[in-house]
Amino acid sequence: MITVHVKLFATLRQYRPGLGMGEAFPVELSHGATIGDLIQTLRLPDQEIKIVFVNGLFRERTDSLADGDEVGIFPPVGGG
C-alpha cells in the first residue's frame, strides 16, 4: 500500500467538508495506483476535475502515484 497526501481546491472542497484551508488529507492506495484510481477512490466527479499536480508537476489521469506523493486537485479555474 502507498499513502498520498491530497489537497482539494475551489469548488472541489465541497466533497470533503470540514477541510481546513490548504490542509492535506492522507489517502491509502494500492501500489501502482494511478491518478484516475485516486479520483475514483475519493468518489470525486471526474468531469469536474481539470488539473492535477503531483509534487508540483502537472500529471495525466494515467500517471501512477508513489508513496508520499503530494497531490493537488483543481476544477477549471481562470484569472489574470
Partner 1 sequence: MGKMLRLNMTDRSATLQDLPDAYKYLGGRGLTSTLVYDEVDPQCHALGPNNKLVFAPGIVTGTPAPTSARISVGAKSPLTGGIKEANAGTAFSPAQAAMGLKAIVVEGQPADKGKWWMAYVSWDLNKKQPTVEFMPADEYAGRDLYEVFPELFKRFGKVSIAGIGTAGEFLYSNSGVVFEDMEGRPARYAGRGGLGAVMGSKGLKFIIMDRKGAPGVAFADKAVFEQGRKKLTAALMEHAITKPKGALNSYGTAVLINILNEAGGLPTRNFSSGRFEGAAKIAGEAVFEGNKERLGKELYNHACSPGCIIQCSNTWYRPDGTEHVSCQEYESIWSLGANCGIDSLDVTGELIKLCNAYGVDTIEMGCTLGVAMEGGLLAFGDGKRAIELMHEVGKGTPIGRILGNGTDMAARALGVTRVPTVKGQSMPAYEPRAVKGIGITYATSTMGADHTSGYTIAPEILGVSGKVDQFDKDKADLARNFLEATAYIDSTGHCLFIAFAILDIASGFEGSVEECNGVLGTQWTMNDVGRIGKEILAREVAFNRAAGISKAHDRMPEFMKYEKLPPHNVTWDIPDETLDAVFP
Which residues of this chain interact with partner 1, rule CB under 8 A?
7, 9-11, 13, 21-23, 50-51, 53, 56, 58, 72, 74-80
Burial of 52 (0-12, 13-18, 19+ CB in 10 A): buried
User: Is 3 or 11 the residue whose CB approaches partner 1 more closely?
Assistant: 11
d(CA 56, CA 68): 13
Closest CA to 32 of 73, 69, 66: 66
Query: Min. distance of Cβ 47 from partner 1 in angstroms?
Result: 9
User: Is 1 or 21 the residue whose CB approaches partner 1 more closely?
Assistant: 21
User: Which amino acid is present at 8?
Assistant: L
Query: Min. distance of Cβ 13 from partner 1 in angstroms?
Result: 6
